[in-house]
Amino acid sequence: MGEAMIKINNILHSSVSDVDFPEVDLTQADAPEDWREKAIELTDDNFDQTGVDGAEDWWNAWCEVRAILDTSFKGDVEGGNSVTLSEGEPNGNMRIKNEFVHLRVRMYNGIGVSYIAEYYLKESDTWVLLYEGEAPSGNFESKLIRDVIGVELAIIANATESAAETIDYWMTEGDHPSWSQSSWAEARGVGRQTVNDRVRSAVNIVED
């Protein structure tokens, strides 16, 4: 989920510009109906026919986000087939929700993005919030990585009920181990067998 959010953020802050509705006399009878309220519905069929500057780029970004969600979670994306694009307002939501994750993406004309991202913890039968709110264009990736690490550590600690087993497993046996058991035992000031016993216990619980 974190990887998908980082990909989305990179798309939206790289090449997409503001949507600029043209200045027209909206009192005229022949003014486009959609422009009377400075809003237009975009779909796969009309995104390149609106006459609104930036609408095509915005829709292309929307479709890229939709593809990221579809590829990352192998499920139907809710709310991704159309969006009402309005001047200076939040413009649309799409989301993925299954029994394990809930990720809602809200895209703005601007362009910006906000998220609600949650994990389900089966052991405690509860949802845990990973991230909520607007994503900054600068340090979002590093902040999100810290948040993901925090959630993963909480999941392992919840399963093992041991801080020592959690940290020893995380450092030597997790998805991205950075230490051997011997070097980690030396850094911790304990015997290698102690680390090995804790890691084996954690593996039996976490990876069962």
Dihedral angle over CA of 51, 61, 69, 115, nearest 10: -100
Instruction: Give me the numbers of helices (H) and strands (E) for the chain, helices first please.
Output: 6, 6
How large is the average pLDDT for residues 95-107? 90
For the ranges 17-31, 99-113, 191-205, which has the lowest average pLDDT? 17-31
Quick one: which of 125, 68, 77 has its CA closest to 99? Answer: 125
CB 145 within 8 A of CB 161: no
- In this prediction, residues 1-24 reach a mean pLDDT of 76
pLDDT band for position 49 (50/70/90)? Answer: confident
Which residue type is seen at 74?
K
| Pairwise pLDDT comparison (126 vs 77), residue with the higher score | 77
Sorted by where each begins, the domain ranges of the chain are 2-136
Burial of 166 (0-12, 13-18, 19+ CB in 10 A): buried
**Residues 39-58, mean pLDDT to the nearest whole number:** 83
Q: Does residue 63 register a pLDDT over 70?
A: yes
List the structure tokens of 90: 């939040």
Top mean-pLDDT range of 31-35, 75-79, 194-198: 194-198
Give yes or no for residue 180 having a pLDDT over 80: yes
Phi/psi at 49 (nearest 5 deg)? Answer: -125, 20
Question: What does the pLDDT average to over 142-166?
Answer: 84
pTM of the model: 0.70
Residues 6+ apart with CB under 8 A from 33: none
> pLDDT tens digits for 122-133?
767 888 888 898
CA distance 154 to 156: 5
Angstrom distance (rounded) from CA 131 to CA 143: 10
For the cut 70, the answer to whether the pLDDT of residue 136 exceeds it is: yes
With a cut of 60, say whether residue 186 has pLDDT above it: yes
